[in-house]
Amino acid sequence: MKQHPYKDRIPEIIWEIVFGSLRKAGPLSPGPDALTRHIEYTSELFTMLDIDFGRWPRVTVTGSKGKGSVAVLLASILQASGERVGLVSSPEMRRFNERIRLNGTCVSDEKLVQAAQRIAPAVRTLIERIQPPHYLGTGGVVLALAATLFAEADISAIVVEAGRGGAYDESRLVKADVSVLTPIMLEHADKLGPTVQDIARTKALITFPGSPLVTAPQKAEVQEVIETVGKELGSSVFAVANTSRIEHAANSLQGVRCDLQVNEQVFPELLISLPGLHQAENAATAIQATFQLARVAGTSCTQDGIRRGLQQVRWPGRAQRIQNQPWILLDGAINRESAEPIAALVEILPARKLTAVVCVPKPKDLAGLCAVIGPIVSTMVLTQVPVHHLQWYEDAVAIASAFCADVKAIPFAEAAFQAALAQSGPDDGILLLGTQSFLGTALTFWDVDTCRIW
C-alpha cells in the first residue's frame, strides 16, 4: 500500500481502521475497478453498524474535473437555505478531518476519534475476515465515520463527493436522491475503461435507479452515454447545457460575476467566490442539483440561499490566492486543460513579473501545462514532493524549456518556495501549480486554514 503523505497527522485509530485493510492487502492487483474493487464489504459494514443513508436527503457528485467545487457549492447553497449539511470530500489537503465537514467546518479530532472508536469493532472484524487481494475500501470506512458523525450532529442533508469512479465506488451505496456528473474526460483508463465512453458509463452508473441525474456540460459522446444510462435506470437526465444560460461572465479578484439563468429562475449579477470562468458552469450545475433535491426530497432552496451560498465558499487549492505582495496563486492544475483557466485569471492579476513553481508527476500532462504557463512567466521552477508512489519526469527540464527560457529544477518543494520568494518583489506574482500532495505542502508552508470553507 502507498504511504499516506500525512500519516504523522492522522490519529492512530483512524490510520488503523481507514487504511488497515489496504495495508493487509499489500500491493494491489492491477486491473480495472470492476475486478479489483469490492464495495460489497462496505455494504456489509453498513449493515453491521445499522447505517442507513436513506434517513437524509442526499446527493452524490462524481466526474473528472470540478466535482469538488460543485460539491462544496451545492453544500453551501443548502446550508445558506437553512439546512444543516454534512459534506464528505477527498482528498484532504492538510488534515484527514477535511474529509468530513459539518456546515462547512471540519470535524474535530475529538469527535473524529470518538466516531472511530464506535465503528472500530465492526471494521476490525471485517478486516480480520477479508483475505488479500480483497480489501475494505477506505472510502467506505470514511462514509461510515461520516454517517456516525452526521447522526450525532442532527444533519438534515448530505453531499458526498465520490472517488474516481461510480459503479464501483463506495459512495454508490449512499443511493443518492440526486446524482451529479461534472465534466468527464479520459482519465484512469486502466481502472475505469479504455475510452471516454467507457469512463462516462462507469461514472454515470453511480446513479440510484429512478433518481434524477444532473449533468454539467459534456462532450457529445459523453452526453450520449449519460442519456443512455438514464433510460436504462429510469432516471431523468437534467443537462445543464440545455437548462441554463450564462451571460456577461467576468473574472474578478473576488471570483466570477455573471448573469445566470437556471430553468425559469434568473440570477442577475451573481457572484461566485471561486475564481475562474468555468466556475459559472459549476454554479449552474450546483443550482440545478439543489432544485432537484428540493423537488424529490423536500430540502430548502431559496433565492437568497443560492446567492449567499455561492458567495461564501472558500475552497483550498482551487485558484486560491494565499498571499499578497507578491501575490501567490495556488491551484491543482496538472494538464493543459486545467492550466488554461489559470492563465486567463492571471490576466487580471497585475504583476511586474511572474514565477511559476510546478510539481507535475508522471503520467500527468507536464508538457501541456508548460505550453500554457511557460509563455506567461519569466521563470519556471520545477519541483517534487517526497511521496514514494509518485513518479517524476527525468526530462522535466527539457520539457519545460521548450516553452520557457528560464527553467530551474529544485528537488524539494519547500526549497522551491523559498527560491521563488527570494527572486520576487512585492509587485510580482507567483503561481504554485501541481498535484494534491504539492498543494498540501504549500498550504502547510504558508499555514493556510483548510478547516473552514465558509
DSSP string of 9-61? GS-HHHHHHHHHHHHHH-SPPPS-HHHH--THHHHHHHHHTT--GGGS-EEEE
* Residue 451 vs residues 89, 102, 106, 396: alpha-carbon distances, Å: 12, 10, 5, 34
Instruction: For residue 404, give the C-alpha cell.
Output: 520557457
146-161: pLDDT as tens digits: 999 999 999 999 999 9
Residue-wise pLDDT for 257-268, tens only, equals 999 999 999 999
Backbone angles phi and psi of 248, in degrees to 5: 55, 35
Domain 7-311 - what CATH class? alpha beta
pLDDT, tens digit, 9 for 90 and up, residues 374-412:
999 999 999 999 987 899 999 999 999 999 999 999 999
Percent of the chain with pLDDT over 90: 88
Query: How high is the pLDDT of residue 252?
Result: 79
Tell me what pLDDT residue 3 has.
47
* Nine-digit cell string for 184: 468527464
Indicate whether this model's pTM tops 0.75. yes
User: In this structure, are residues 376 and 385 in contact, taking their beta carbons and an 8 Å threshold?
Assistant: no
Using CA atoms, how far apart are residues 206 and 185, in angstroms rounded to an integer?
16
Q: Which CATH number fits domain 320-445: 1.10.260.40, 1.10.1040.10, 3.30.110.70, 3.90.190.20?
A: 3.90.190.20
Task: Specify the DSSP element, H or E, that contains 202.
Answer: helix 196-204
Residue 91 binned pLDDT confidence (cut-offs 50, 70, 90): confident
> Is residue 5 predicted with pLDDT exceeding 60?
no
The DSSP line for 335-370 is SHHHHHHHHHHHTTS--SSEEEEEE--BTS-HHHHH
pLDDT bucket at 431, cuts 50 / 70 / 90: very high
**Concatenated DSSP letters of 383-405:** EE---TT-B--TTHHHHHHTT-S
For the stretch 108-119, pLDDT in tens is 999 999 999 999
Spans of all domains in the chain: 7-311, 320-445
Judging by beta carbons within 10 Å of its beta carbon (0-12, 13-18, 19+), is residue 401 exposed, middle or buried? Answer: middle
Q: What is the mean pLDDT of the chain?
A: 95
* Nearest C-alpha neighbor of 317 from the set 300, 297, 342, 337: 342
CA atoms of 371 and 335, how far apart (whole Å): 9
